[in-house]
């Protein structure tokens, strides 16, 4: 997969609290990195490039992708912007421009979350998929994106249309910023910690 990244968007320098938090997370990552991930070391604390390898026994087994994580000035009080560096994996909740429809990156973000927990949630989302396909509104979403920025940075967020799904899945939620059920990592996180190492069957996301 490509290792290129998009140009950084205009942003403020990290606050002292954000710097201290990220340095702590970086040390913890180096001591105990999440399985399936590798942090590509650079001198830019505000942007992390992370390599992801699909879990064995899933549709994405041994496939390699890259995540770009940009931290806002007031992290962790604000969620990081996390996108796949194109080409992004084919997934019902991942747009072709790399944007990810995952609730903890938007409405359900908590300062208690870390880069590691976000990575595990994204891998869980990939591992639970039973189909490789783009979101139904992929073309419209990409066409309407402003400067390639994450929907969290745009007015209105993801395309605001009524979802075609009628029933909630235990690990899905309907987010106000998404036209389809966002994958809910909060409920899935503890489950994934057990399932990922064992490479067992994941519940179906869609």
Torsion of CA 24, 27, 29, 32, to 10 degrees: -120
Q: What is the DSSP string of 125-178?
A: HHHH-S-----TTHHHHHHH-STT--GGGSTT-S-----S--S--TTEE--TT-
Local structure of 121: helix, strand or coil? helix
The single residue listed with the structure tokens 């994934």 is: 192
Residue 101 appears among annotated catalytic residues: yes
Name the active-site residue from 101, 119, 182, 195.
101
φ/ψ of 107, rounded to 5, equals -60, -35
> Cα(first)–Cα(last) distance of the chain, in Å?
26
Residues recognised as catalytic: 101
């Amino acid at each position: 997969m490509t290792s290129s990244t998009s140009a950084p968007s205009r942003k403020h320098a990290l606050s002292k609290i954000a710097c201290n938090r990220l340095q702590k997370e970086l040390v913890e990552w180096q001591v105990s990195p999440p399985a399936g991930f590798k942090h590509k070391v650079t001198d830019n604390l505000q942007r992390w490039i992370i390599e992801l390898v699909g879990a064995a026994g899933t549709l994405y087994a041994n496939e390699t992708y890259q995540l770009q994580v940009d931290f806002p000035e007031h992290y962790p009080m604000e969620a990081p912007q996390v996108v796949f560096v194109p080409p992004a994996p084919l997934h019902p909740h991942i747009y072709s421009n790399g944007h990810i429809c995952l609730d903890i990156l938007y409405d359900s973000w908590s300062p208690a979350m870390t880069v590691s927990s976000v990575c595990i949630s994204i891998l869980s989302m990939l591992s639970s998929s039973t189909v490789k396909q783009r979101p139904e509104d992929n073309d419209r979403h990409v066409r309407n994106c402003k400067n390639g920025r994450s929907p969290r940075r745009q007015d209105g967020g993801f395309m605001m249309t009524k979802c075609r799904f009628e029933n909630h899945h235990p690990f899905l939620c309907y987010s106000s910023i998404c036209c389809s059920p966002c994958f809910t990592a909060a409920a899935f996180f503890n489950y994934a910690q057990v399932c990922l190492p064992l490479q067992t069957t994941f519940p179906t996301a869609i």
